[in-house]
Amino acid sequence: MTKLDELKRHLKPGQAYRLADLARWSRSVDRHARELVENGTLKKVSGGLYVYPKETAFGPAPASDKEVVRAFLKDDTFLLASPNAYNSLGVGTTQLYDKTVVYNHKRHGEFRLGNRTFAFRVKPRFPKALTKEFLLVDLVNNVNHLAEAKDQVLKRVAERAAESDPKRLRHAVRAYGSERAKKFFERALRANELHVG
C-alpha cells in the first residue's frame, strides 16, 4: 500500500479537511493533497481547505455547508442562517438571496468556499438553532439590507410579535437584538399588552 493509499483510507466521503487535518496521516501533505485533487478524490474549495465528495446515484455530492464551515473555522460553534429563512415568518419577505450568513466568534467578512459565498459575522451570542423568535429579531437587526419595503415588513413583524410567546420573544430580543431592535420590540410588545389589556 502506498503512502497516498494509506492517507486516503482515513478520509470519509462528505467530510471537509484542512491541510493540517491531512498532515496527521502524511509527511508530504502538500504533494499528497495535490495528487488527491488531481485524481479526483479531493476537491479544493479554498486555500488549504478540501472536501471529499460523497458518491450518489446522481454523481458526486459536495460536503454540506455545515461541514465546510466547520473545517474552515476549525470550530463547531456557529449558526448558519440566510435571509431566505425570513420568508417562513409570513411578514412579506419573498426575495431569494444567494447568500448564507455564518454567525460565529472568529471570522468576519465574505469568503468564497468552493462555488458558494458565505458572509461570516462575528457575534457575541447566537442560538444553537434557528427559532422563530431569533428570526424575527434577526430580521429587524438586518432590515436595512433587505430588498423589500422596510415599513411594510416592520409592520408585519410587529403583528407577528403580538402573536408570539412574549416571554420567549423578550429573551431573544435581550440576547440577540441591536439597540434599534430592542426599542422596536419594546414598542410592539407594549402596544400589544395595551391592546390585550
Q: For residue range 8-31, list pLDDT tens digits in order.
A: 999 999 999 999 999 999 999 999
Give the model's pLDDT for residue 191: 75
Q: What are the pLDDT digits (tens) for 121-170?
A: 999 999 999 999 999 999 999 999 888 888 999 999 999 998 888 899 99
User: Final residue of a domain: which of 12, 36, 63?
Assistant: 63
Give the pLDDT of residue 183.
95
CATH number reported for the structural domain that contains residue 12 in this entry? 1.10.10
User: Which H or E run contains 128?
Assistant: none
Looking at the structure, tell me whether residues 19 and 74 fall in a common domain: no
Mind listing the pLDDT tens digit for each residue in 30-60? Answer: 999 999 999 999 999 998 999 999 888 888 8
Same domain, yes or no, for 28 and 81? no
Domain count, the chain: 2
Task: Count CB-CB contacts under 10 A for residue 135.
Answer: 21
Helices (H), 39-105: 65-73
Which phi and psi angles does 85 have, rounded to 5°? Answer: -65, -25
Picking from 41, 63, 85, the residue at the C-terminal end of a domain is: 63
Mean pLDDT for 54-79 is 90
Whether residue 197 is predicted with pLDDT greater than 70 in this model: the reply is: no
pLDDT level of residue 95 (50, 70, 90 thresholds): confident
Tell me, yes or no, whether 59 and 103 share the same domain. Answer: no
Which one of 28, 63, 98 terminates a domain? Answer: 63
What would you report as the CA-atom Rg of the chain, rounded to the nearest whole angstrom?
A: 22
- Cβ neighbors of 173 (< 8 A, separation 6 or more) are 137, 181, 182, 185, 186
State yes or no: pLDDT of 68 exceeds 60.
yes
Report if pTM > 0.75: yes
Together in a domain, 136 and 76: yes
Residue 190, domain extent: 67-196
